[in-house]
Amino acid sequence: MDRAETRARIATLLEPFNKKGVALTDATTFAGDLEWDSLTVMDFVAAIEDEFDIIISMNQQAEIETYGQLVDAVITIKG
């Protein structure tokens, strides 16, 4: 799976969580731009894990602050 396909699948999953309709770029932050709280993050991570059949560790989650970082992390974990 290439980066564009991964990015598109994540964007589709993110849509219901994007209450403010923020335009997504690789630099879009979850806490700042999307204004997500920790519960929203956990729900979204669960959706990502289900969609891609992966596990994102708590340490990895702590390092992911932007949409682009998430796309790269999913690609790396998926291998």
For CA atoms 17, 37, 25, 63, the dihedral sign is negative
For CA atoms 20, 32, 38, 45, the dihedral sign is positive
Average pLDDT over residues 8-30: 96
Confidence at residue 1, expressed as pLDDT on a 0 to 100 scale? 78
Backbone angles phi, psi at 10, to 5 degrees: -65, -40
Average pLDDT over residues 27-44: 95
Average pLDDT over residues 52-75: 96
Could you tell me the domains of the chain? 3-78 (1.10.1200.10)
Nearest to 70 by CA among 78, 16, 22: 78
Verdict on whether the full-model pTM lies above 0.85:
yes
Pair 30, 41: CB distance under 8 Å: yes
DSSP 58: H
